[in-house]
Amino acid sequence: MAANWQAGADGEERTAKALRPLEGPNCHVLHDRLLDPGRSQVNLDHLVASAAGVYLIDSKNWSGSATVVGHTLRTTSAQGRNWSQDKVLDKLRETAARVATEAQAEVFPVLCLTSPNSSLFGEPIFIRGVFIVPVARLADWLLGRRRVVDPATCRNQAIRLAASFPSSTQPAFLSVPPRRRAQPPRSDRRPAPTRPAPVAKQKPRPRAWPRALVGLAALVLVLTSFGRGLWTGAAETLTNAWVHQLAKGLPKPRATNWTHPCSQISDAAIAKLLGHPVYRYQDGGYDVCTWGFQPKSATAPVVLRIQTGKLAQAQYVRGTKATYVDKGTLTELLVPQFVAIPGSSQPASRTTQPIAVILTWPASPKPPTTRSTVAALALETARHLPTGPGSTSLAAHP
């Protein structure tokens, strides 16, 4: 365990050394931060707030070599044993999503290879929603990213990150107990005046006959049927009151026969429609699902977002007919409730909930077939919309 800890510390030090030349008005670096201060010792190796955005960098000083086979990161030990590191990438991607919630900005997860032979890995690559970058190429890779914020915004993001994720090594960032008032030296202290202790007044002793009456009444309540009836009624009344009070704090049950529509769509179906392997993000929102994929022609991940129900109605869907929004790197298909999906033979009555399909491409040119793609994705979503009583009520699904 000590050897593993030391290897991890050495890897973090190499990453910190690689990031040091970048620090300045356009790049602020935070090291060894707590993810859940006060609740957990889980730490974030490095947080970078730069002009190119916010990055969560996790240092991995794996022994052996690391390679990408297909869409899987694998490590091979000196003895020839081979492991898949997909769970490491998925956990890092989910952690970046949690950091993004606190940072109020998009956070890019980066796995930095810091072993001595990490230079054999080759060029940085993007798989399963995570950038994999050797430590020797980390600084140049960050400098080559497109700038999206100004120095003032960059500094504000760094301040927000430092406040949300305090340092695990610097006490100034941790919660400290309140200071006691300074005491004068012992030689300067005056002896406290001695006062005689007050004499406690003796309470009059209670008479014995009230105690006897109480004991006799308790014996009657326990032994007689009348007493047992009183005890049973009181217990039942208290139990009902407690259950009623407990039920007040419970959330109201959702409508029956309701399932999260986009969660019923398999990743394989999405990958087939898009023509690329996909990975699913952990959204945490209701009636919303997000996938990511990386085409060979794109310089950054493509994001697919599908929303249904009340949330889609409030945020996106307007009017009484299906509309395409095609501008820049964004392609949307917004289908109101009870409106047929363009190009499909499915009846309009089958669209029991509004649908919003949003496809966001990076700065590189997007393919010309995105409209047909979002239409196919909307049709796949409509197949999983609820049916039956209560399926068309938006207010029932907050």
The residue with greater pLDDT, 222 or 397, is 222
> Quick one: three-class SS letters along 82-111?
EEECHHHHHHHHHHHHHHHHHHCCCEEEEE
CB 15 within 8 A of CB 45: yes
- Averaged pLDDT score across all residues of the chain: 79
Q: Which of 114-123, 165-174, 369-378 has the lowest mean pLDDT?
A: 165-174
Give dist(CA 304, CA 80) in Å, integer.
39
pLDDT, tens digit, 9 for 90 and up, residues 76-96: 887 778 889 999 999 999 999
CB 137 within 8 A of CB 143: no
pLDDT, tens digit, 9 for 90 and up, residues 34-51: 988 777 788 999 999 999
- What was the pLDDT predicted at 102? 80
- What was the pLDDT predicted at 117? 86
- What was the pLDDT predicted at 314? 78
List phi, psi (to 5°) of 315. Answer: -95, -35
Q: Nearest CA to 76 among 62, 88, 61?
A: 62
- What was the pLDDT predicted at 295? 78
Task: List the structure tokens of 227.
Answer: 């007493």
In the predicted model, what is the mean pLDDT of residues 239-266? 58
| Sequential DSSP letters for 129-165 | TEEEEEGGGHHHHHHTSPP-S-HHHHHHHHHHHHHHS
The residue with greater pLDDT, 310 or 299, is 310
Band of residue 239 on the pLDDT scale cut at 50, 70, 90: low
Q: How many helices (H) and strands (E) does the chain have?
A: 9, 15
Give dist(CA 198, CA 186) in Å, integer.
29
